[in-house]
């Protein structure tokens, strides 16, 4: 089912993100994670696309597998910066054949070797427009509460997001953030510029100090000093508990603010997500 239709019918949605395992031995972990999280009756799940399309075949395979084996509503991520129109057409045809009608349209990371980079698409809004013209898919795009790491300003960043919406995006899923103030400020900027599609906040708990460094280097997300101090000099078990408690409170505040839903970055593991959901009062249907 198209996510745009679900969002038009429901006041609140839950969704999970997975990535294709690089190693065969990790596939069992993902299978187990999907099995557990399916019990929380997600409205949709998404499957990521590796940098430069590096996991293209695996992404397509897992997207189809999750839909057909687990009967879940699936959205496939699709990056365009290294793709030609023919490449995109080939993927879209496969998805249509399997009745997968949701895509998260992304630019993707620009490769270091730009000489050999295909140039049919330079920006995500161009991919959105191209897919929209196929008149089959519900299209999501990424939003950045603290601004994209490459963006020159928050004002320019929200202008680029508006271009993606104006060319056909049906909804927005945000990058992870750890201070709700950034998300609420992002909503204000979106409203002022005329963005009126549903915006889903992306949630990932900080459960150890090593994550803090990775998050800030990877995407520029700010981790509050108060949370870092709580995590310092703690055991792994205590850091996990602190991070989960923080995420639960973060989600509660978002829910009280009437967000349209919560999109969980699972990292292919279920423990953190199930702890947060249960802290919010969700009980798996198997129980």
Element (H, E) at 129: helix 124-132
CA distance 226 to 229: 5
Residue 16, strand partner residues: 45, 264
- Residue 263: strand, helix, or coil: strand
List 105's β-bridge partners, or say none.
78
> What positions carry a catalytic annotation?
17
The encoded tokens of residue 238 equal: 């205590």
**Tens digit of pLDDT for each residue in 114-151?**
555 666 888 999 999 999 999 899 999 999 999 998 88
Residue 85: CB atoms within 10 Å: 12
pLDDT in tens, 51-92: 555 566 789 999 999 999 999 999 999 998 878 899 899 999
DSSP, collapsed to helix, strand or coil, labels residue 118 as coil
**For 158-187, how does the pLDDT look when each residue is reduced to its tens digit (9 = 90+)?**
999 999 999 999 999 999 999 999 999 999
- pLDDT, residue 193, reads 98
- Which element (helix H / strand E) includes 174? strand 171-176
Alpha carbon distance 269, 211 (integer Å): 15
Answer whether 227's CB lies under 8 Å from 206's CB. yes
Query: Whole-angstrom Cα distance, residue 174 to residue 227?
Result: 21
CA angle at 221 for the pair 37 and 175, rounded to the nearest 5°: 45
pTM of the model: 0.94
């Amino acid at each position: 089912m198209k996510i745009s239709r679900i969002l038009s019918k429901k006041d609140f949605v839950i969704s999970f993100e997975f990535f294709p395992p690089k190693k065969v031995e990790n596939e069992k972990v993902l299978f187990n994670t999907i099995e557990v999280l399916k019990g929380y009756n997600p409205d949709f799940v998404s499957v990521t696309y590796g940098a430069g399309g590096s996991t293209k075949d695996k992404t397509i395979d897992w997207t189809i597998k999750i839909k057909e084996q687990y009967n879940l509503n699936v959205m496939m991520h699709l990056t365009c910066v290294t793709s030609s129109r023919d490449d995109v057409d080939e993927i879209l045809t496969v998805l249509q054949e399997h009745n997968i009608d949701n895509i998260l349209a992304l630019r993707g990371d620009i490769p270091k070797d730009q000489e050999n980079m295909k140039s049919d698409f330079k920006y995500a809004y161009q991919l959105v427009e191209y897919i929209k013209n196929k008149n089959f898919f519900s299209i999501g795009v990424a939003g950045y509460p603290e601004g994209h790491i490459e963006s020159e300003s928050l004002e320019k960043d929200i202008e680029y997001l508006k271009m993606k919406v104006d060319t056909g995006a049906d909804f927005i899923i945000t990058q992870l953030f750890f201070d709700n103030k950034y998300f609420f400020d992002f909503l204000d900027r979106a409203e002022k510029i005329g963005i009126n599609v549903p915006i889903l906040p992306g949630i990932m708990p900080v459960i150890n100090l090593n994550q803090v460094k990775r998050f800030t280097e990877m995407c520029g997300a700010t981790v509050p000093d108060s949370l870092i101090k709580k995590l310092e000099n703690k055991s792994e078990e205590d850091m996990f508990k602190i991070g989960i408690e923080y995420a639960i409170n973060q989600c509660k505040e978002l829910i009280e603010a009437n967000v349209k839903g919560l999109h969980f970055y699972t990292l292919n593991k279920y423990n953190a997500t199930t702890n947060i959901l249960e802290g919010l009062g969700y009980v798996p249907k198997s129980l």
